[in-house]
Amino acid sequence: MTNAHRRGGAVTAAGRFAPSPSGDLHLGNLRTAVLAWLFARQSDRAFLIRMEDLDRVREGSAERQLADLAALGLDPDGPVLTQSSRRDAYDDAIATLQAAGRVYECFCTRREIQQAASAPHAPQGAYPGTCRNLTDTERDERRRAGRRPALRLRADVTTRAVHDVLLGDHTGVVDDLVLRRTDGVPAYNLAVVVDDAFQGVDQVVRGDDLLSSSPRQAYLAGLLGLPVPEYVHVPLALGPTGARLAKRDGAVTLRDRLDAGESADDVLAEIAASIGAPGCRTVGDLAVRWRPDLLPREPWYAVGRDT
């Protein structure tokens, strides 16, 4: 079931920005949100916001994130969806896969997976299938030892090709990915696939560090009979040392910048310059002047102000 959205009276597809409410958004997050909004607007899609709050939630973060996005002019075209309200949908998806014989219990610890995955024969980043063919007796032994199982997908391919608007064709690893963690929380890859289909999201704009997730998610969508979205993986924002941008780099959140005397328009202008549209100070300006071919393909080294 999908959740259709209307713009100008017509039902339309959607793009989205889906942060985790674990803290304030930094300039790199805000830049990705601006790009998601622009790609959606320039392809006549709705723009949606989803809070991926199944894990690592910090009280008040969701409200602050939404306020920061609104300050930049990034208001969604529909209600904000929270993943914590969607547990039944994830359970239903897992039940569908179980009925097709696509799910098994995995008792591996994180250390065991890391050690097995480092073996010479294991594809980089892939689960090695340690628990794939356990017998009933072996599973019972692990339960008696106090181990709680995760649920994994029983994949029947090892790679999947996807197409990215900016990066072209990409073939990546598909393995027996986790569907539900040992603590009962639905896994990221499952939730993203189920929610994108529910919201009518057919364009996914996100950081290029998540490119490796796309083959797994596209494969899982196919198994569930769900559409595969258009992927747009954009360059990350990095700090001055080349590491991912973080609070250690100074005033890198909108609130930090406002406290330092800047305006939301000043921050948006900085983001606009980083995506190839210097001089734009509002998202309205960007919608008129920006084009995807202006976006630099290399990472953006953001400059944090002193705090």
Residue 19, marked binder: yes
Dihedral (C-alpha) 131, 134, 138, 139: value to the nearest 10 degrees?
70
Q: What angle do CA 36, 206, 81 make, to 5 degrees?
A: 70
The verdict on whether residue 20 carries a ligand-binding annotation is yes
pLDDT number for residue 16: 98
**Structure confidence at residue 1 (pLDDT):** 42
The predicted pLDDT at position 250 comes to 78
Tokens of 110: 């994180």
Cα–Cα distance measured from residue 240 to residue 178, given in angstroms and rounded to the nearest whole number? 35
Asked if residues 221 and 189 have their Cβ atoms less than 8 Å apart, the reply is no
Report whether 108 belongs to an annotated binding site.
Answer: yes
pTM: predicted TM-score of the whole model, two decimal places:
0.92
Q: At 239, give phi and psi (nearest 5°).
A: -80, 180
Is 16 annotated to bind ligand? yes
Q: Of 170, 247, 255, 289, which one is the catalytic site residue? A: 247
Provide the CATH number for the domain formed by 87-191 in this structure.
3.90.800.10
At residue 281's C-alpha, the angle toward residues 280 and 283, to 5°, is 85
Asked whether residue 107 is marked as a ligand-binding residue, the answer is no
Residues 126, 246: Cα–Cα separation, whole Å: 28
Q: Is 216 annotated as a binding residue?
A: no
Residues of the chain with pLDDT under 50: 1, 9, 11, 307
Distance CA 299, CA 107 (A): 38
Q: Please list the residues that pair with 171 across neighbouring strands.
A: 161
Q: Average pLDDT over the chain, rounded to whole? A: 92
Please check if 302 is assigned to a binding site. Answer: no
Domain boundaries, the chain: 5-84+235-301, 87-191
Residue 119 burial (CB count, 10 A): 8
The answer to whether 247 is a known catalytic residue is yes
Say which CATH topology domain 5-84+235-301 has. Rossmann fold (3.40.50)
CA distances from 279 to 35, 39, 218 (A): 16, 19, 38
- CA–CA distance, 298 with 122 (Å, rounded to integer): 30
